[in-house]
Structure 1
């Protein structure tokens, strides 16, 4: 008997950090190009009668023909694919097609399933619930009840025990889509589905088209992915309440994933094999990847392998080859794979070990295997876009860890990371990321270990997240509506929140998908965190990265010295800012920059430093010795860049006073720099732009407010009351009063180039 519990994803499939890159990642711009061409093809084939059907009227029957048993399915899948790819249901091309779909006499299992899936992308109103209810009634009435077909589906409401796993996966998808519309599907249905698919699993771990004893057809990646995706769905509705007694396992899931990993060469390939249907297989594998959180199947990145395949087989007109069911359907499958598979990642859940007695043991990181899945589904619905989650390991490359702004760490035992792992966590945060900690079962040892770890890594302490935090005041949900107010702790660098700690186990609510009453806040907090960490609308699709690495092809033409100036205060809130600037200077300006920290007031700021950076987040008063250092530096030909990190007014006001103290005879000459100043023209800059928090103030976002002070005929003091420091990270955090990162980085690079120019 299989335990109906949530799934622990087989460690053998996600553990190995080596030999990953069997397929070169497809650049996001190329994915976008392939996707847009396919979408354009679908629109081009939309008929004048507002549908994609090849026959004007159906010839209903229990078959797979698009002009008969599955009539209406081409229109349903095309609409669903376009909506999943970000098109609006109000689009004048789609709106009439949606009206056609609502009225069409659709009866086939495939066709009904895709109509229900399309409805999940529509407004959640009574009309669509009524339409979905009628389709659900069709689906529920055709479940087979005897023999190996029990719990399975046929092409339509056919007689006898005809079924296949291909047809049946869409029957289950239809029921799931109905639940997304708020309709009730009995728990017994999901138990029935779970038992049926486990019963029909091949001894090898995969699935063929029918029960192993009655099927002469081979086990295939498409049917195996269909089996896995269906089990994930059924387990979502049958899991017992989450506990804290270790990471649960599911042998059928583990066996299926192992088969898929072993046979991954049969996926997304131009080599033909028996029962080879590449496009539906892509869609099935994508569903497994999104449900499981796995980036890799074995050592293969399933998304990039599939995206590369689609890029290779796409025709000049944007369509994908038809192996079955017509070109429209196959192209729609490709659109679904690309649009959903590249979806921005809300959070990455960290898989980690614990060190006990000097030995590494598996940590309790995944006691709630569906927590990230359900809370991601909630955020996706609320923000009306495709979103995903993913599992990560600290042994992964930095680029993998940075695919999401949020790294989620859960557990019910004290964390014991190695020094190397701690360094990776520190780098992740200093590169612009945020860590979300959840204490499973309110475990005190976990919470205490988190507070010790965070203080050690970031030299700061947790406090109650302030009510005026941008996480609360600038996002979708206000804590004023949360009763009772849940306890949320935050650790800040003065610019942004670096870590969030939930000591009272919100993940239990996520794992139960329980959003009623006071538990609503547990989901809404994550929606707010996602929007905060991505400046509301700037979440990156898979493959997009703001991490920079040195280009090995570049041969630098000059060496320069940059300095971060230290004083008695928060002098370096974003330690990753200057290193990223240095990499940008190396790649784009041929400058090999050395970065040092120089303590003001010790007469160490000399002519060998080209540009010194002075930043902070709070009011500060420099000592006479510190002021003297700065005066000598700029008077002797050095350049200083002063900015209020995060756009904090207290630091900006303090620095304006300091400039008056340091350069009393010249401070009055500091003015906003005109557009023709060299810092705006040395290298072409993008249009001036600011973050969303600046737009909210009503200030102009199309003009620079950078100020400068000339000494001896050249600008030596640059002052910005708006953030530049956090902008250098490239991180899209909300609540920052500052320049958009895409503008801040090249602007500061121009300042450096201006400073070192003879």
Structure 2
């Protein structure tokens, strides 16, 4: 009944006017309430005892009915709160029944249920309010939060059963609800997925300790929901709970995005001690009331996150002035000279979603010329998120923000990879050195910080080229690399000394790759002028040129099957150009294409930086173009 109730609730979301689904859900809902004993559920209506396994599914069924508009009442959730706290063992885990030893399976059952209990019994009734006692720092709400934290700690130390389908489904429910990527320092999804895939039967089923049907059902739920993309990371910083005054705000945002996207979407808590590469979400949410303190190493991590395409969204809980001032300062520390300014009503963040705002949130942001990378809300949105007031403008704003930062693109799940399946190309001898050109007095030259680390595995797999990135090279310094990469967002200005050095590109077989980051028109036009001042008029890459058709080891044909983002496709059509081939220009030195120029973005697409309205190649095609350049150099 509990599991089936979730089927009816899902069906109702897909067909909300199907009375038969609502009737079936109501029938299971009433059965569950009638079968509930003083402390929990067992297998049948006539059972007089309970166990935590059946009880977790009873709670799950009531939760599904509540989502569909039925109400079990506050007394039910209070009863479940007392039950799971009362039977939690001193070590933090749960057993099958009261007094039995803690087990990993039952710990996941207790934890997953406690998250639902907290949301319905406490989380949706309160939000942090300045000048008042923190509702989540005392009383029953605090007791539940502490119980969940002790449960997570126990589970992180336990020996999980990654070859057990029941455990996999349970760990997914608990960890996803808690926004945890790691438990006890272990990536629970990676470990579980590896075990599941190794144990998959030849017929495609996942028995994992059960019949093929049951094991496959539970394991599939684990893989689908546990491997779902992460939309928002919430940053843990400082001491205590100052970063988490509204403990379920991000969880409720993720749940609403899940419904809007009509596919699973997760959230994570991340720490400043975690590698930036582990911050998977395109949005990093920072919240607080008092001033937030970040040292230089913290700021460097935040800067790297932004350079990798992340967008920081910050909000002061109930208008905390100290936190607001610290965020205004943080913007300038992340990017010198940057400051927050009001986002106008026609900013893409507000228009990405066709939304009739009741009270359009007041936002400020900082831009790098191609995208707004820091957004600060002067309104207290997290209160609505925490209390799950989905009718407020706070939830459409979260969706609109996600659409903006992803440029309407799809989120990548845990199984996404840029490297195609199958055996890769044989590795070539030697390494290909790439250096990024450093210019100007600001950090515009560093836009492609993450580009070469992102494309290197693909180039190795497809063309056998081992790419090594050297330190940045000033345009006035000699070039000791096989490929010099120049990109930026703003107008490029080079000194005469820099021009003299650049004229020597190609004399020893080097190449220079120049592209406009995110398709920046200012950079594209100024870079083209500078290149033509040095090398003469740039010529379109001819359709039969080796670089165009990939006439070398590891090369691919760029005259067909190339795809662009929508703004670039529109620009190409206006110019009367084909939209399924690469459009590059070259400068020749000694008859060789020494400089390759693209007015359309390559770098941002390769690095995973999505800028709203960016004019460039889609990532898969950008990888093909750049790998051709690398393979042509390796060919000699």
Which of the five TM-score ranges fits, normalised by the shorter chain?
0.7 to 0.9
Match of 1:220 in 2: 103
Picking from 586, 589, 592, the partner of 1:714 is 592
Displacement after TM superposition at 1:701 (Å)? 4.3
Asked whether the 8 Å contact 1:139–1:171 carries over to 2, the reply is no
For 1:318-329, list aligned pairs within 5 A: 318-321=204-207, 323=209, 326-329=211-214
1:323-378 deviation digits (Å, cap 9, x = unpaired): 56x4312210111111111111111212111xxxxxxx335111111111100000
Match of 1:238 in 2: 121
For 1:322-721, list aligned pairs within 5 A: 323=209, 326-353=211-238, 361-362=239-240, 364-401=242-279, 403-459=280-336, 460-473=338-351, 475=352, 477-478=353-354, 481-516=356-391, 519-520=392-393, 522-542=394-414, 544=416, 557-558=430-431, 560=433, 562-567=435-440, 571-572=444-445, 574-577=447-450, 579-580=452-453, 583=456, 587=460, 588-599=464-475, 604=476, 606=478, 608=480, 611-619=483-491, 630-631=502-503, 639-659=511-531, 661-662=533-534, 666-667=536-537, 670-674=539-543, 676-678=545-547, 680-681=549-550, 682=552, 683-685=554-556, 687-694=561-568, 699=573, 701-721=579-599
Displacement after TM superposition at 1:713 (Å)? 1.5
Unaligned runs of 5+ in 1: 1-108, 270-277, 354-360
Taking the aligned partners of 1:428 and 1:397, their CA distance within structure 2 comes to 10
Taking the aligned partners of 1:593 and 1:394, their CA distance within structure 2 comes to 26
1:376-402 deviation digits (Å, cap 9, x = unpaired): 00000000001111111122234322x
Picking from 596, 599, 607, the partner of 1:729 is 607
Asked whether the 8 Å contact 1:310–1:320 carries over to 2, the reply is yes
Asked whether the 8 Å contact 2:6–2:64 carries over to 1, the reply is no
Q: Secondary structure at the match of 2:379?
A: coil
Displacement after TM superposition at 1:172 (Å)? 1.5
> 1:138 and 2:30 equivalent?
yes
Q: Secondary structure at the match of 1:589?
A: coil
Displacement after TM superposition at 1:571 (Å)? 4.3
Displacement after TM superposition at 1:228 (Å)? 1.5
Asked whether the 8 Å contact 1:443–1:503 carries over to 2, the reply is no
Picking from 15, 28, 40, the partner of 1:123 is 15
Q: Secondary structure at the match of 1:450?
A: helix
Displacement after TM superposition at 1:696 (Å)? 6.8
> 1:740 and 2:618 equivalent?
yes
Displacement after TM superposition at 1:643 (Å)? 2.3
Match of 1:83 in 2: none
TM-score of the pair, normalised by structure 2? 0.84
> 1:294 and 2:180 equivalent?
yes
Change (3 A) 1:218 1:591: closer
Taking the aligned partners of 1:563 and 1:312, their CA distance within structure 2 comes to 41
Displacement after TM superposition at 1:580 (Å)? 2.9
Taking the aligned partners of 1:569 and 1:458, their CA distance within structure 2 comes to 9
Taking the aligned partners of 2:183 and 2:504, their CA distance within structure 1 comes to 60
Taking the aligned partners of 1:132 and 1:732, their CA distance within structure 2 comes to 44
Taking the aligned partners of 1:433 and 1:237, their CA distance within structure 2 comes to 32
Match of 1:49 in 2: none
Picking from 171, 187, 199, the partner of 1:313 is 199
Picking from 47, 63, 72, the partner of 1:176 is 63
Asked whether the 8 Å contact 2:311–2:405 carries over to 1, the reply is yes
Displacement after TM superposition at 1:486 (Å)? 0.9
Count of aligned residue pairs for this structure pair: 606
Asked whether the 8 Å contact 1:561–1:608 carries over to 2, the reply is no
Asked whether the 8 Å contact 2:432–2:634 carries over to 1, the reply is no
Change (3 A) 1:718 1:193: same
Displacement after TM superposition at 1:260 (Å)? 2.5
Taking the aligned partners of 1:470 and 1:187, their CA distance within structure 2 comes to 41
Taking the aligned partners of 1:422 and 1:732, their CA distance within structure 2 comes to 22
Change (3 A) 1:696 1:291: farther
Change (3 A) 1:747 1:195: same
Taking the aligned partners of 1:185 and 1:704, their CA distance within structure 2 comes to 60
The alignment's C-alpha RMSD in Å is 3.4
Taking the aligned partners of 2:544 and 2:234, their CA distance within structure 1 comes to 45
Which of structures 1 and 2 has the larger relative contact order (alpha carbons within 8 angstroms, sep 6+)? 1
Asked whether the 8 Å contact 1:582–1:593 carries over to 2, the reply is no
